[in-house]
Amino acid sequence: MPFAVNTIESYLRPGNHIHLVGIGGVSMRPLGLVLRGMGLTISGSDMNASVSTDDLIAQGIPVYIGHHPENIAGADCVIRTAAARNDNPEIAAARELGIPIFERAQAWGVLMKAYRNAICISGTHGKTTTTSMITQIFMEAQWDPTVMIGGYFPLLHAGHRVGKGDTIIMESCEYCNSFLNFFPTTAVILNIEADHLDFFADLEDVERSFLKFASLVPADGHIIANGDDANTCKTLGQLNPITFGRNAGNTVRGVNFSHNYQEFDVLYQDTFFCHIHLQVAGLHNAMNALAAIAVGQLYQIPADVIAQALSHFTGAGRRMEFKGRYHGADVYDDYAHHPGELNALITAAQSMGYKRIICAFQPHTYSRTAALFSDFVQALRRVDQAVIAEIYAAREQNTIGISSKDLVAQIPGAVYCESLPDVTAYLQKVAQEGDLILTVGAGDIYKAAEMLVKT
């Protein structure tokens, strides 16, 4: 479906009835709440009941569990998540009835146009954490931003907020070219790697998408990019972005790092800017912080405010989130679902001083598992014990014939678990004093951690 940002605007008006297909999603749920706050009538549907759908129902938004044609009755238009394809019963019914169908990102793009400053954070990984860090900085600087994060941020007690300021801070995803519907005045590119290969043809296709995204920034806007990432530099070099990283030549540069990357100095154009003390460990989080610092500096937020805000940042939900203890082992949960994220997580975990690292990993989607198979194997070989749950299907059918058993066969000492209760039972059996237990993946693997710490 072609982008139709101009036509959707006529529907986002008080009194209209908007139906959201996939309303329980991390950006669909806040979209529904924001639109309802603007005076629109909102209904929605999702494949499964969840904490998100329960919360929407509690707030007075009708949510249908399961997708059925009759769910769209009375809707003036339908907004769908990227995972809802044309064969979805509600999408098919809307097409048959001539009810306009728009993409989630189109709606956010229209909302974004109302703000003077639209800060859009993109990248293969690190988006949620960096968006949360930037939010922490702008909140403590009293900017009162509107925020949309693709996950839970404890500071907001949600993944979104509606502010009264002139700034929107928006996590921006490349999947299905969603972020090409946006209107960034500041575009942040954290890194570029091959991912979402069920949509993109290859890495070069991903790079083209990010170049188009960065090119959306107007002449008086700004592009902030990872100057240490080769793919990002190759893709965006001609746009002359503001850069961040550890390497000499970056506009915002981190130096004098502690062993776990929680403390370091920051230079702006080779002049001391501030000293940073983070509560989250790992090089990946230091790089996320440098990106956030670059944004804060660009918007002339004082260095001491930036440093203090980042010292208060304790992480976003499901990003190395402490869940509790079991038999002397510390249990953490993380959303990592790409080999790059998995490697960054394991590197950070290895700096924390535990006797063993036990990683319970749930691959996310059959296509990603197949396309990046060897990279997942190499990453999971780095831990002391890999426990692999069956692949989380998400939006896909297993037409490839792949299983987590294929990963287990290539990882020495790895254990296959068909169900989440099996994962929890195995972790109960092997947990020891001094262990770090990680539950990792973008699906529902977090439930295994929650079951573990409750026993």
Single out the residue in 267, 287, 312 at which a domain terminates: 312
Query: Which percentage of the chain shows pLDDT scores above 90?
Result: 87
With left for phi above 0 and alpha for psi between -120 and 50, is residue 376 left, alpha or beta? Answer: alpha
- CATH code for position 11: 3.40.50.720
User: What residues pair up with 153 in beta bridges, in sequence order?
Assistant: 158
Residues 140 and 278 in one domain: yes
For residue 451, give every residue at least 6 positions away whose Cβ sits within 8 Å of its Cβ, in sequence order, or none: 420, 421, 424
Say yes or no to pLDDT of 124 above 80. yes
- CATH code for position 282: 3.40.1190.10
Supply the pTM of this predicted model.
0.83
Residues 136 and 237 in one domain: yes
Domain that holds residue 126: 115-312
Residues 213 and 141 in one domain: yes
Single out the residue in 58, 89, 107 at which a domain terminates: 107
Residues 11 and 133 in one domain: no
Single out the residue in 74, 107, 140 at which a domain terminates: 107
- 120, 184 Cβ separation under 8 angstroms: yes
Q: Model confidence over 310-363: pLDDT tens digits?
A: 999 998 888 889 999 999 999 999 999 999 999 999 999 999 999 999 999 999
Residues 99 and 151 in one domain: no
Query: Which percentage of the chain shows pLDDT scores above 70?
Result: 99
Q: Residues 402-424: what's their mean pLDDT?
A: 98
Mean pLDDT of the chain: 94
Give the phi and the psi of residue 334 in degrees, each rounded to 5. Answer: -145, 150
Residues 243 and 365 in one domain: no
pLDDT for 316: 87
- CATH code for position 395: 3.90.190.20
Residues 281 and 393 in one domain: no
Active-site annotation, residues: 127-128, 171
Q: Residues 359-370: what's their mean pLDDT?
A: 97
Q: How many domains are contained in the chain? A: 3
Residues 136 and 251 in one domain: yes
Q: Tell me if residue 243 falls in helix, strand or coil.
A: strand
